[in-house]
Amino acid sequence: MTSIPCPECGNPTHAHLDNCPNVPLPRFTIDGWSRDYPAVSYGPLWNGWATPVVTQTVLTETMDEFPDWNHVEFRWDGSAVITIKGGYPDDDDQIVIAPDSNGNYDLAAMGYTYEQV
């Protein structure tokens, strides 16, 4: 079996552009927002929505952008961020997002509607 080289860089170890280090990953936004952010990778789609993995800097930037009406509180506990979705009678979820072995944060657990742009 012959491997097909990457169309961007010719490397036979990754035939698809999603795996090529020479091709930047698509940026993402939260559905309805005008600002977009860089991702270091993406996990599997969640209900058709993107699941970005981001640096701590990007995570902090997205946390700062949430409007007060969204009833979301963020706080740091060491290197992990705790997301509290409150403000609704039956919605007092607490989600802990800890960094992975590379120090990046997988935003899939937050359950927001992220889109690649």
Q: Find out whether 53 and 44 touch, Cβ atoms under 8 Å.
A: no
Q: pTM value?
A: 0.71
pLDDT of residue 19: 57
The domain ranges of the chain are 24-116
Of residues 63 and 71, more confidently modeled: 63
Q: Is 103 left (phi over 0), alpha (psi -120 to 50) or beta?
A: left
pLDDT for 42 beyond 70: yes
| Residue 57 DSSP SS3 | helix
**Could you tell me which residue, 71 or 27, shows the higher pLDDT?**
27
Tens-place pLDDT, residues 1-39:
445 666 666 666 655 555 566 666 789 998 888 889 999
Report pLDDT for 8. Answer: 62
Higher pLDDT pick, 24 / 81: 81
Is there a contact between 36 and 27 (Cβ–Cβ < 8 Å)?
yes
At 41, give phi and psi (nearest 5°): -165, 175
Alpha-carbon span 105 to 39, nearest angstrom: 10
